[in-house]
Amino acid sequence: MNNLYTLSARGKFLGIEVRINDIPLAIFNAGGNLPDARINHYVIPGKNVATLHASNASDRAAVHRDSLTLLSIERGGVQITQSNWTANPQAPALPPEMSLEFDAGAGVGDWSWLTAPVITEPVPNVQALHNLLSQLHNAMQFIDIDAVMDLLALKNMEMIQAFGIDSARMLAAQRAFFAGLFAAANWAMAPLNLTNVGFERCANGRMVRPVSSTGENPISSTPGASGEVFVLPVLASHFSDGWKIVR
């Protein structure tokens, strides 16, 4: 795929979040790298901004003291831009956010959320947003793959568009993934306590991310046989016909 965009983040990370156009991509809480993450579904026409965001001063100081941080973007396997931030223990901590810009031109990213209204504070129609999360949680708890696919339909359509995937094959693969996930003998969802769920605005205010009071994703399973927990990150936008999952 000649227009495949990938992002690589390398260095020693602690509490660092990677975002594309203010959309959360990954968080590093225990160190490590993010090699070749596909980001077409985050890329928009014209100027794009990739950022490394440190959540607090102690994390920024730790990164600044201990590491060389590299953020790079490739298109079609060819690097188009990169930035380095060099550790310097004699200087102040890193700034809260470090950014890297690239231009994607006009032929990408006709995404629904780009025309969604900017979400204000307090979040509008929050009961409907709670209902959306409850529907997704219940569909996964009671192993209703059709309902899960319906709730993820807009996100799936835009993923197909972003990567030029055969739609029938992609949707069949996703169904197979959920079927395998739900087939676990002890499959169950962790309780969803909506009174402990808040919503963080992102995508420059055009999406929200649900976050529990402890900072965790509220759509998650109970631990499996080996202690693994399945987490389904979701981002939602508010349209004239209600809230929809877009990423």
| Structural domains of the chain, with CATH | 5-109 (no CATH), 114-245 (3.10.450)
Q: Residue 112's pLDDT is what?
A: 94
| Residue 85 tokens, joined | 């931030």
| Residues of the chain where predicted confidence (pLDDT) is lower than 70 | 1, 11-15, 27-35, 54-69, 84-97
**193, 185 in Cβ contact below 8 A?**
no
Give residues with Cβ within 8 angstroms of 107, minimum separation 6: 3, 45
Give per-residue pLDDT as tens, 79-133: 888 876 655 555 555 555 678 899 998 878 889 999 999 998 888 889 999 999 9
Q: Residue 243's pLDDT is what?
A: 96
**50, 73 in Cβ contact below 8 A?**
yes
Q: Residue 83's pLDDT is what?
A: 78
Q: Residue 116's pLDDT is what?
A: 94
Closest CA to 21 of 204, 246, 232, 152: 204
Provide φ and ψ at 117, rounded to 5°: -65, 150
Distance CA 166, CA 15 (A): 37
Q: Residue 31's pLDDT is what?
A: 55
Q: Residue 121's pLDDT is what?
A: 83
Q: Residue 36's pLDDT is what?
A: 79
**236, 247 in Cβ contact below 8 A?**
no
Q: Residue 153's pLDDT is what?
A: 97
| Residue 2 tokens, joined | 């000649």
Q: Residue 132's pLDDT is what?
A: 97
Q: Residue 39's pLDDT is what?
A: 92
Core vs surface per residue 18-51: b (16+ CB within 10 A) or e: bbbbbbbbeebeeeeebeeeebbbbbbeeebebb
If you search the block for the tokens 């087939």, which residue do you land on?
183
3-state secondary structure of 52: strand
106: DSSP letter: S
Closest CA to 41 of 177, 158, 164: 158
